[in-house]
Structures are given as structure tokens and as C-alpha cells.
Amino acid sequence: MANSKKVTHELSAAVHKMNQTLRAFGYGRPDPQAAADCFNHLMAAISDIDERLVAIEEAQETGSLSGPAT
């Protein structure tokens, strides 16, 4: 299964927002919106990963995918 562009994008965005959050905190100006955005990007990535795992499991159950899920 190819890498998901959505997961890659969401994880990159989460890293960017986490960096923004940490820089703001370091300057004494906490950025709660950046922290919330980071969390939301991580949740979107986790949701997409979960959907992909369910698809793999269903394919294995129907026999359309051979071998262990990795």
C-alpha cells in the first residue's frame, strides 16, 4: 500500500504547528491556537491511518490481500 498523501500532509502540518507552539512558548507568548491546530492535525492523521488499517484488515478477511499486514 502506498503512503497516504493525507497522512504525510497532516503529520507535516502538525510538526509545523508544534514548532510554532514551542517557539511562541520560548518567547513567553503562548499560542494556544497553534497547539490546538497541532492536535487537530494529529487527530486527522490518526483517523486516516485507522481507516487504512481497517481497509487492510477487511481485505485480509475477504482473502483479497495475502500475507501479514505490515
Q: Give residue 31's pLDDT.
A: 92
Q: How many residues does the chain have?
A: 70
Name the more confident of 29 and 4. Answer: 29
Supply the range of the domain harboring residue 36: 5-60
* DSSP H or E stretch at residue 19: helix 5-26
Q: Is residue 48 part of a domain?
A: yes
pLDDT band at 3 (very low <50, low <70, confident <90, very high): confident
Enumerate residues 6+ apart whose C-beta is below 8 A from 4. Answer: 48, 49, 52
Q: What are the tens digits of pLDDT across the range 15-64?
A: 999 999 999 999 999 999 999 999 999 999 999 999 999 999 999 998 86
Q: Is residue 65 part of a domain?
A: no
pLDDT band at 66 (very low <50, low <70, confident <90, very high): low
Number of domain units in the chain: 1
Q: Is residue 55 part of a domain?
A: yes
